[in-house]
Amino acid sequence: MDQAVRFLDLLFDAGLLIQTGVDGLYGRSGAFEDVLNRVDALATRYGADDGAETLRFPPAMSRRAFETSGYLKSFPQLAGTVHSFCGNERDHARLLECLGAGDDWTSGQQATDVVLTPAACYPLYPTLAKRGPLPDDGKLFDLQSYCFRHEPSLDPARMQLFRMREYVRAGTPEQVLAFRETWLKRGEAMIRSLGLPLTIDIANDPFFGRAGKIMASGQRDQGLKFELLVPINSAAEPTACLSFNYHQDHFGKTWGIAMADGATAHTACVGFGLERITLALFKHHGLDVEAWPTPARDVLWG
Ligand code: ATP
Ligand code: ZN
């Protein structure tokens, strides 16, 4: 963690990230955003010929849909819910009293119909389900969203609010597995073209609790999740910059997404951690983009 904290301090000193007083919640400079947007555009170039439908959702989703998604079963520790003041004038006076006295003013807050988006693909599934059965060749979507995860950390690569670019494939098991294979190769080519060292490994999601340990090992045994890792803080513990997830029929069943023949749709997604790839570039090529190696500059600015 020492190295992570040192890198975070360097990023603050260079003005690339801006402190807010909360670990994992940062402002970004224009230079940081420029690189991040170019990484995003690079992902667009790699997927350009596939005919994906582009959708953009705000960084929040319906609480009802979130409840249905099963997120709270697997990752209650990461969820972020939006609460608001819903009281009368007396309640307001009490709130201000608490605030003035430095007491807890949040107990009167009530859950709204909105929660923060935990992964860019979560708002997609209910939308897809409403459209009815998928065409025979399935569907492909291009998504990007700020995502929230309650995992405060001094590791700059573990933020509470970060952007996830995703391609999501829905279709038969064969279609979605072929999609994942394609993106495993493309993701590797894309990150190599940026001059970054990488490994690809089997992975698991951070499922909560004792039952979560069993789910995590099941996920690994079945090879459902792969990650493309780049050393950002240490060579021994590289950071997942891209994830390749095969959900089998989990979302298909949860939302009732069907193929034209009535079979439950399978889904897979490739997720690009846009801040993480950007941070990996600053880590390996230095904090001054003008001094980056020509091949990486050509790929992003060419
Ligand atoms: P990790 O194992 O590092 O917690 P994850 O497996 O939970 O990551 P996914 O849910 O697969 O990650 O998310 C897709 C991508 O989003 C990841 O590959 C990563 O690049 C990025 N990402 C995930 N969590 C964070 C975070 N806290 N801060 C920045 N980027 C993140
Ligand atoms: Zn996803």
Strands in 129-216 per DSSP E: 139-148, 161-171, 199-202
Tokens 């609010």 belong to residue: 161
Same domain, 225 and 137: yes
The CATH number of residue 237's host domain is: 3.30.930.10
- Closest C-alpha residue for ligand 1 atom 27: 158
Say how far apart CA 240 and CA 271 lie, in whole Å: 10
Same domain, 51 and 98: no
Same domain, 131 and 213: yes
CA neighbor of 36 nearest in space, from 144, 182, 168, 148: 144
What does the block give as tokens for 56?
Answer: 């953009």
Structural domain including 104 reads 81-116
Interstrand relation of 161-171 and 266-273 (parallel, antiparallel or unpaired) = antiparallel
Say how far apart CA 171 and CA 177 lie, in whole Å: 10
Same domain, 75 and 147: yes
Same domain, 42 and 138: yes
Interstrand relation of 139-148 and 53-54 (parallel, antiparallel or unpaired) = parallel
Ligand 1: nearest atom to the Cα of 205 = 6
Compute, in angstroms, the gap from residue 273 CA to the centroid of ligand 1: 6
Same domain, 105 and 191: no
Of 98, 116, 134, the one marking the end of a domain is: 116
Domain count, the chain: 2
pTM higher than 0.85 for the full model?
yes
Dihedral angle, C-alpha 265, 146, 291, 300, nearest 10 °: 40
- Model confidence pLDDT, tens digit, residues 227-282: 999 999 999 999 999 999 999 999 999 999 999 999 999 999 999 999 999 999 99
Compute, in angstroms, the gap from residue 119 CA to the centroid of ligand 2: 6
- Model confidence pLDDT, tens digit, residues 134-184: 999 999 999 999 999 999 999 999 999 999 999 999 999 999 999 999 999
